[in-house]
């Protein structure tokens, strides 16, 4: 009889451990240079995106952080911090203390902690709380940040197009299906690349939008076919907008390069580190932009410029349906991501009241999972103690 009691209590304990409810899955797609109004171009119907809007939410537009360039906003989105807090102030940077340079395109010093450790990106927050993250072509995923790496990183090495997005989505959905991944993030470059080369809303950009829209339609269909449409939350967003170049400033007409320790040109903006005693040598303190290279489309301008506005949309069980939300800032996204994953966010500049009304707070996957775990655990504990009491009498 004593052995039977122990076996029964063990079975009750196993039942408690088995009643674990999985957290919500989260798919992120960063579409570089996808301007906020591209989805409403009259001659570019996008049925895949429109389906997602009906099934979820979209912001009227999203405000990028300044400067409206890529790396600063990649990190603002993934850390929830403004640029002055996470430290990324351009795609090209110079550290006066070490003399090191951060140069977009893969110089070895890009991976140094001095650039990255002032912020905690989502995948680090997730990994620290026992969530698995898989990142495809996502800048920074190859870097050890605050001592942490993602579960998997396919580093960005060359421009990515709709075919790369399709491949990554195929792998990512399979990871969700077999419960290997909690977070999948994919970076797409084609819209930004064609915007620079041919101009904002050019025919090449429109063709790229159509190609991406087909991928979006297929993604939604594939999610449904494998039974994950109501289990995976999707967030799609961009880092900045795009505008066509209107004028060029000749920098050497305004300062002497010999008066500078470092000059790092970046499309419409430029980083200048003057030599000691040379800070007053600019011949024109009103310089507000600088353009180099053959690019037609540009970004990096002030956030008050409508063409710099970014794009945001989301769908899944955590989000309301068929809602156009008021404009938001990109630093708000990190807290939403953490909410969906059911993890505690690192300190950030987001404000929950700015975004909570786009969410199904009572029934979102993350919230629902937490509630289910609490209720199920309480129920199982009751059963467990009932088992013990039963055999004591």
How far is it, in rounded angstroms, from Cα 38 to Cα 34?
7
Burial 138-169 (b: 16+ CB within 10 A, else e): bbbbbbebeebbbbbbbebeeebbbebbbebb
How far is it, in rounded angstroms, from Cα 189 to Cα 41?
20
Residue 390 CA: distances (Å) to CA of 1, 17, 119, 380? 13, 21, 53, 15
Instruction: Find out whether 300 and 292 touch, Cβ atoms under 8 Å.
Output: no
Instruction: Find out whether 89 and 264 touch, Cβ atoms under 8 Å.
Output: no
Can 70 be counted among the known catalytic residues? yes
Q: Cα 159–234–143 angle (5° rounding)?
A: 45
How far is it, in rounded angstroms, from Cα 56 to Cα 329?
19
Out of 23, 24, 70, 190, the active site residue is 70
Q: Looking up tokens 């088995």, which residue turns up?
A: 18
How far is it, in rounded angstroms, from Cα 182 to Cα 27?
9
Among the listed residues 332, 328, 316, the one whose alpha carbon sits nearest the alpha carbon of residue 368: 316
Among the listed residues 355, 367, 337, the one whose alpha carbon sits nearest the alpha carbon of residue 121: 337
Provide, for the chain, the percentages of residues in helix, strand and coil under a 3-state DSSP scheme, each rounded to the nearest 5: 40, 20, 40
Among the listed residues 131, 100, 122, the one whose alpha carbon sits nearest the alpha carbon of residue 113: 100
Among the listed residues 20, 24, 23, 21, the one whose alpha carbon sits nearest the alpha carbon of residue 318: 24
Helix axes 365-392, 2-18, angle to 10 degrees: 170
Q: Which residues are catalytic?
A: 70
């Amino acid at each position: 009889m004593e052995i039977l009691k122990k076996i029964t209590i063990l079975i009750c304990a196993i039942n408690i451990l088995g009643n674990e409810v999985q957290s919500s899955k989260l798919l992120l797609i960063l579409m570089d240079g996808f301007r906020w109004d591209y989805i409403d171009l009259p001659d570019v119907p996008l049925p895949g995106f429109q389906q997602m809007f009906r099934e979820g939410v979209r912001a009227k537009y999203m405000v990028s952080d300044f400067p409206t360039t890529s790396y600063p906003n990649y990190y603002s989105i993934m850390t929830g911090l403004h640029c002055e807090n996470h430290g990324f102030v351009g795609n090209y940077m110079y550290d006066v203390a070490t003399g090191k340079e951060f140069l977009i395109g893969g110089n070895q010093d890009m991976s140094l902690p001095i650039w990255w450790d002032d912020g905690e990106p989502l995948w680090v927050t997730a990994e620290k709380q026992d969530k698995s993250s898989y990142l495809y072509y996502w800048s920074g995923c190859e870097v050890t940040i605050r001592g942490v790496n993602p579960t998997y990183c396919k580093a960005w090495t060359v421009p990515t197009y709709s075919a790369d997005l399709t491949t990554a989505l195929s792998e990512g959905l399979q990871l969700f299906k077999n419960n290997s991944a909690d977070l999948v993030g994919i970076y797409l470059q084609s819209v930004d690349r064609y915007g620079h080369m041919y101009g904002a809303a050019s025919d090449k950009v429109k063709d790229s939008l159509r190609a991406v829209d087909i991928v979006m339609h297929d993604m939604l269909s594939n999610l449904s076919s494998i039974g994950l449409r109501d289990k995976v939350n999707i967030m799609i967003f961009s880092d900045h907008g795009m505008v066509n170049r209107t004028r060029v400033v000749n920098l050497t007409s305004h300062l002497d390069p010999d008066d500078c320790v470092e000059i790092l040109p970046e499309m419409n903006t430029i980083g200048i580190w003057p030599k000691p005693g040379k800070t007053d040598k600019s011949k024109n303190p009103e310089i507000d932009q600088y353009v180099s290279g053959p690019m037609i489309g540009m970004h990096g301008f002030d956030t008050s410029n409508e063409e710099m506005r970014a794009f945001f949309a989301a769908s899944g069980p955590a989000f309301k349906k068929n809602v156009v939300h008021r404009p938001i800032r990109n630093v708000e996204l990190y807290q939403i991501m953490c909410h969906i994953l059911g993890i505690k966010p690192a300190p950030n500049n987001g404000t929950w009241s700015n975004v909570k009304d786009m969410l199904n707070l009572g029934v979102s996957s993350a919230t629902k999972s937490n509630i289910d775990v609490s209720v199920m655990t309480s129920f199982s504990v009751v059963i467990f103690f009932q088992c013990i009491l039963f055999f004591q009498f």
